[in-house]
A and B are shown apart, each in its own frame.
Chain A
Amino acid sequence: MKIRNILITLVSAIALLISASTISFAKVVGDKIILGAAVSLTGKYSSNGVHTQNGYNLAVERINGMGGVKVGGKTYKFDIIYYDDESNSGRAAQLAERLIQQDGVKFMLGPYSSGLTKAMAPVTEKYEVPMVEANGASRSLFTKGYKYLFAVLAPANLYLDVAIDLAVEKNGGKPVKIAMAFEQDAFSQDVRLGIVEAAKRTGSKIIIDDKLPKELNDMAATLSKVKATNPDVLVVSGHTKGALTAIRQISEMKVDVKMLAMTHCDAAKLSKQHGKASEYALCASQWHKSLSYKDKFFGGGMKYDADFTKAFGYAPPYQAAESSAALLVYKDAFERAQSFDTKKVRDALAATDMQTFYGNIKFAEGGQNVSKPMVLFQVSCNDDGSKCENKVVAPTKWASAELVHPIPSWSKR
């Protein structure tokens, strides 16, 4: 009886020890580096959540397949624990807590959208766990003094200010008249701030500044004002719904502007859904496959596009590309840190200065990526509108086509 008791105690003690050790060393189990991610697999962000997950998975597979991560003379492989945050910021914060506390994750990947990233960042910051995120561009993420948050993408206020510079350039260097319609959410308002700054810088005048309510489906009033005031540039940002509504109503109401700049064109599958009506729209993008950035894992943008399409059956939107880049950043940081100590990895992340297929990555004090400019592409269609393409027109260094300016009037289209 006594022996049995001792045996039971021994077994349970060992079990406890093992379980305790897996908790405290869950960040690295055997030859695996465990990363944690909460992404939106259900709920309103689920399509972009899936793009994010696919981007992460493709990079994990590629890095593991090409030799993994070498730390301290040993080779490790990436593995990701996923949870579904249901597109809900409360849930995202809970899951961050769970990944860190229960699963013992020491390195996090970001969720989809600024809102969810904003919910998770305070948690990762509290536990001093580094988070490399690829889908939260809101400026407010980078002004809070977070030390453990790193974003591979350009902040929201840089999305469309290039368009204003372009309009001024096309206007012979003279200031332009700007009409703006932005949804009232954190991201779109950050894009708006960028435009306001660009307007100040170029001496341009903002003649319409409409803030669209979130539930609004109808921009007819704003567009009537645009028609009446005839501005040089119309800037619209309101996620995919805003982009689709804008193109639908601009074409229906025959609103003529010289330049139309917007966000979320490829996420909204703008040219596929609206065909020729979307032609000449200028769209801000974090990435485009035709850019000539290179790395040894994915080669270039064209190869990434082909590999992603082969793996998942659809062309990668930029949300997938930036997610893949987040893994490349982690690999690079681990190898420079030569350690799994979160502080050392954090410092290595902060010192990142590299080129990936997605663009150059170098983090500013606030954690945002400052060395990758946004690109603008313009939708260009064939004569009957059956096939539309996105062609990069700015910045000039990456341009693959000439900007069509001014946009031909509706009576001639």
Chain B
Amino acid sequence: MDLLIFQAPILMVQASMDGILLGILFALIAYGMALQWGVMNIINIAQGELVIMGGYIAYFMYLSGIHPAFGVIVSPIIMYCVGWGMYKLVINKVVDKDLFTSILATFGISILAQQLMNFAFGADVVVAQSNFGTTMLFNNSVTLPNAKIFSGAVCVISAIILVIYMKKSKLGRAIRATAQNARAAKILGVDTEKVYAATFGINAALCGIAGACIAITFTLHPYTGLPYTVRSFMIVIIAGLGNLPAVAISGMGLGVFEEWSDYLLGTEFRIAAVFSLLVIILVYRRFKLARKREYLK
């Protein structure tokens, strides 16, 4: 039974496709996290809550008769404002403090957001229906829900748009400058306060897009944000800051790895397998770094 994947090799295709589509979604969330981590040196524990909040926006559009897929446009706009407000209210007070303070602050925000969402939206698990149908490949043996394909495409497009925006626009340049050296940027006339607020807003907007995708592909519940925070954190750790293609690759890689370990080791070990891989990567990194340090000595 364990080796079902070898008896039916078509499952390898299925597992890889599922993994990639799952990974792209996580990569987009991680992308936002890497951005604001790199720029503001803040680890946002409330990342998952921003995602779920974005999902609820799409869900309420669905409830009021609008197709939830339009959530990928509306949700980031609203979430940008939410992120901006969150920065002005809390984050700007911790942005130049040490990492521990900002972790505590965002942890507080995440608890508050969970409770507020629970209060406002109720504790029921909800889904939004896209009715996109299914794509069948290889004589119906590989099935890909169109909602997942749609989400994957949306994530890729938004990532590309963001990369171009960061390269070409004035704000993008200011963000990159602030990330490199906030003080120098300030001296050269960059309004870092504005840059920080915009960065946090962009991060929230990315979460909003991912959330809208999750509303039509998975399920929403006020307390299910944490797995998204943890996963995006992992992806960023593996990829490193300021390396956006690496974020995409490590996101998809982890997704595929997770799906494959489901088939090879069993469902109960899939999360454990991903975390073990993380430990191995970190230990390997340490050795590599240690060697480099020795060389420097």
Which residues of A come within 8 Å of B, CB atoms?
A: 42-48, 181, 184, 207-208, 210-213, 215-218, 220-222, 224-225, 227-229, 240-241, 244-245, 248-249, 252-254, 268-269, 273-275
Contacts and interface: CB of A to CB of B under 8 A. Distances in A.
A253 B145 contact: yes
Contact of B4 (A181, A218, A228): A228
B268 to A, nearest CB: 4
B4 A47 contact: no
B85 interface: no
A118 B273 CA distance: 30
Given A47-B122, A211-B268, A215-B271, 10 more contacts: A42-B119, A46-B118, A46-B122, A47-B123, A48-B123, A218-B22, A221-B15, A228-B7, A245-B219, A253-B145
A225 B267 CA distance: 11
Contacts of B92: none
B71 interface: no
Contact of B11 (A42, A211, A224, A244): A224
Contacts of B126: 244, 273
B129 A274 contact: yes
A274 B122 contact: no
Contacts of B224: 215, 217, 241
* Residue from A44, A45, A222 with most neighbouring chain B CB atoms (10 Å): A44
B49 to A, nearest CB: 14
A245 B224 CA distance: 13
B171 interface: no
Interface in B203-230: 214, 218-219, 221-224, 226-227
Contacts, number: 113
A47 B121 CA distance: 11
Nearest to A44: B223
B167 to A, nearest CB: 34
A221 B125 contact: no
A218 B255 CA distance: 11
Given A181-B267, A215-B226, A217-B219, A43 B118 contact: yes
A217 B118 contact: no
A225 B124 contact: no
A42 B127 CA distance: 21
Contacts of A220: 14, 18, 22, 259
Given A47-B124, A252-B147, A268-B125, A224 B15 contact: yes
A224 B271 CA distance: 18
B1 interface: yes
A213 B145 CA distance: 22
24 contacts: A42-B118, A43-B223, A181-B267, A184-B268, A208-B1, A210-B266, A211-B268, A213-B267, A215-B227, A216-B270, A220-B22, A220-B259, A221-B270, A224-B11, A224-B18, A225-B11, A228-B8, A240-B124, A241-B224, A248-B127, A248-B218, A254-B134, A269-B124, A274-B127
Contacts of A215: 224, 226-227, 271
Nearest to A273: B127
Interface string B114-150: 0100110011111101000010100011010101100
A214 B148 CA distance: 21
Interface string B255-288: 0000100110011101100000000000000000
B134 A253 contact: yes
A46 B4 CA distance: 41
B222 to A, nearest CB: 7
B233 to A, nearest CB: 14
Contacts of A212: 267-268
B55 to A, nearest CB: 11
